[in-house]
Amino acid sequence: MSNDESAAERIAYRRQNAVDPEAFLRDLAVIEPTDQDENLQFTPKFVSRIDRQLEQVRSTGVETADIAVMFGVDEEHVTEADRSYTAYKTHATVRNWPSEAALELDVATDRELRAETDRWDEVPPRQRYRLLQSLRSFRDDCPFCGGSVSIGDETVESCCGDTEVVTVGCGDCDRRFLEFSADSIRGA
């Protein structure tokens, strides 16, 4: 899917190629029900594969080529965004992460999903991005230090004022993996 296509063509592509996230990830043996069958968790094998990928990403670093592959664009259309937080621009869209660790985890997960199936490339880039974001919350232990991952809340300053956010991160090494508006869960 190229950025040169019309909005209608991009929407049609997203509709045609969108996946049911749970079914897609279960089919790949990425996730499974917890013992109580109430929630989902990574399969132990997938955790091991992600950890190996993450080790490689941490040793080589994240490059614009990784972002290009993740979002299905040519590398020449990827630049690091000039922001106070981790962000990259793909064409005209700025993609952001709550930390460098979250980006490294997304790159490792993206690499592993690509190694698992060619179907990952067919998933629309926006949905891949959202799936990667969601998958960051599936670990109980920090993939960087082994500490406990927990949910918290705090007030952060944005361009428009102070905002209350819910965070998912490691209490031991303070790496943040996920951040979202507290309002987004109040209405759920």
Residue type, 134: S
Q: How many percent of the chain have pLDDT more than 70?
A: 92
- 22 phi/psi in degrees, rounded to 5: -65, -45
Tens-place pLDDT, residues 41-87:
999 999 999 999 999 999 999 999 999 999 999 999 999 999 988 99
Q: What pLDDT is stored for residue 157 in this prediction?
A: 60
Tens-place pLDDT, residues 108-152:
999 999 999 999 999 999 999 999 999 999 999 999 999 999 998
pTM equals 0.87
DSSP-assigned letters across all residues of 118-171:
THHHHS-HHHHHHHHHHHGGG-SB-TTT--BEEEEEEEEEETTEEEEEEEEEET
Q: What is the largest CA-CA distance in the chain?
A: 47
Q: What pLDDT is stored for residue 186 in this prediction?
A: 53
Q: What pLDDT is stored for residue 161 in this prediction?
A: 65
Q: What pLDDT is stored for residue 4 in this prediction?
A: 67
